[in-house]
Structure 1
Amino acid sequence: MSGASTTPTEGFLTVTRFARRATIAAALLVAPLGLTLSTAAAASAAPTTKSHVATVKPKPKKKTTTTADPATLETQVVTLTNNYRTAHGCGALRIDTRLVAAARAHSTDMVSKNFFSHTGSDGSSFVQREVRAGYTKGASAENIAWGYRTPQDVVNAWINSPGHRANILNCSSVAVGVGVAYKADGTPYWTQDFGRV
């Protein structure tokens, strides 16, 4: 999906416990509302996808052209995510540099190729991108978003979406990597990758 719209959007993808052996996860992006709520599950080597469209569309935020330090913003997203997880009985996630690399690469890919999807411009799934970054076991989920200007805004959007919240509150996830990249106009694209190892 092109990032041409000015409405902030988010997407998520989860690999269920049955897909731990799968090497490829697929995502189906639902374009009508700009929200992706996909679950990748594979009982065999071939991935399957299911999709559910969210009923609430986020409100657009005021545009600015200034950008903050990406590493600072990424750390703030992790802190906010961990605060929410611990308040709901899950352990805090540790930052894994391999997941950070995968998340940053995907955000940069979406910005540079002007698209918004869990599938990379090269056809890769989040699992493949995590493996490429050296995280070879335990990929669990991915949340993506664009247009949200602050860490608080993007985490709130994910928390207010059932699928994204489920990824955040998946207590079997123990590691996380967040990546943010900016379009020339200052629009941020966010990726949050989770892992179980």
Structure 2
Amino acid sequence: MKNSQLLLHSLIFLILVSCFQAQAHTQTAPKETAVTQMQQDILFYINQYRIKHGLSPLKLNEVISAEATQHSKAMAAHQVPFGHQGFSTRIEHLYSAIKNAHGGAENVAYNYKTAKIVASEWIKSPGHRRNIIGNYNLTGIGIAYDNKGKIYYTQLFLRTI
């Protein structure tokens, strides 16, 4: 009897542990998926605006997105103030990494809850809108969360020949 109870308790324990492990594993994936989806959604709204104004859509570039993500993470970690500090360094890195790259612009935002709102606020702002409709063909979008759940966004723009 004791052996069967011990076996039953062990089995229940193993089931519970495996459930918690599965839950812990799946909790990291949705945030990554949500960030990727938000990047795609921002790109969609920005390109929708560009096309409406007779411009070619921007192509999302992984190298540019990585640079934008680093800046968003630095702002979210409060390693740099919210804004464009270090922009010239980011652009220099991109010129080195992307053949025939020139030009360059950057939009930043924080604490907007959806991609549609971020894109809409950038479009409403004359300076940000100028970047959106600028003579660029590549973009990168970086998104990061701070420890309070605020979202930091960076969009970089480049032109290649």
Is the partner of 2:112 in helix, strand or coil? coil
Question: Are 1:194 and 2:157 matched, yes or no?
Answer: yes
Q: Give 1:149 deviation, angstroms.
A: 1.2
Q: Give 1:129 deviation, angstroms.
A: 4.2
What residue identity is the alignment partner of 1:159?
Answer: I
On the 8 A contact 1:177/1:192 being kept in 2, the answer is yes
Which deviates more from structure 2 when the two are superposed, residues 134-143 or residues 76-85?
Answer: 134-143
Tell me the equivalent position of 1:26: none
1: CA distance, partners of 2:114 / 2:69 = 16
Q: Give 1:124 deviation, angstroms.
A: 5.4
TM-score by length of 1: 0.60
Q: Count residues with an aligned counterpart.
A: 128
What is the aligned counterpart of 2:121 among 146, 151, 157?
Answer: 157
2: CA distance, partners of 1:185 / 1:124 = 29
Tell me the equivalent position of 2:91: 127
2: CA distance, partners of 1:183 / 1:176 = 23
Deviations 1:73-113 (A, max 9, x none): 11110011000000011100111111111111110111112
Tell me the equivalent position of 2:109: 145
Q: Give 1:115 deviation, angstroms.
A: 2.0
Change in CA separation of 1:80 and 1:88 when aligned onto 2, cut-off 3 Å: same
Change in CA separation of 1:185 and 1:114 when aligned onto 2, cut-off 3 Å: farther
Q: Structure 1: any 5+ residue segments left out of the alignment?
A: 1-65
Question: Are 1:106 and 2:71 matched, yes or no?
Answer: yes
On the 8 A contact 2:138/2:157 being kept in 1, the answer is yes
More helix by share: 2
1: CA distance, partners of 2:102 / 2:88 = 17
On the 8 A contact 1:118/1:125 being kept in 2, the answer is no
1: CA distance, partners of 2:90 / 2:72 = 11
TM alignment of 1:36-185, pairs within 5 A: 69-112=34-77, 113=79, 115-120=81-86, 125-131=89-95, 134-135=97-98, 137-170=101-134, 172-185=135-148
Tell me the equivalent position of 1:28: none
What residue identity is the alignment partner of 1:166?
Answer: R
1: CA distance, partners of 2:59 / 2:90 = 19
Tell me the equivalent position of 1:10: none
Deviations 1:153-179 (A, max 9, x none): 111110000010011011x20011101
Q: Structure 2: any 5+ residue segments left out of the alignment?
A: 1-29
Q: Which runs of 4+ in 1 moved over 3 A?
A: 123-126
On the 8 A contact 2:95/2:102 being kept in 1, the answer is no
Q: CA RMSD in A?
A: 2.0
Change in CA separation of 1:177 and 1:125 when aligned onto 2, cut-off 3 Å: same
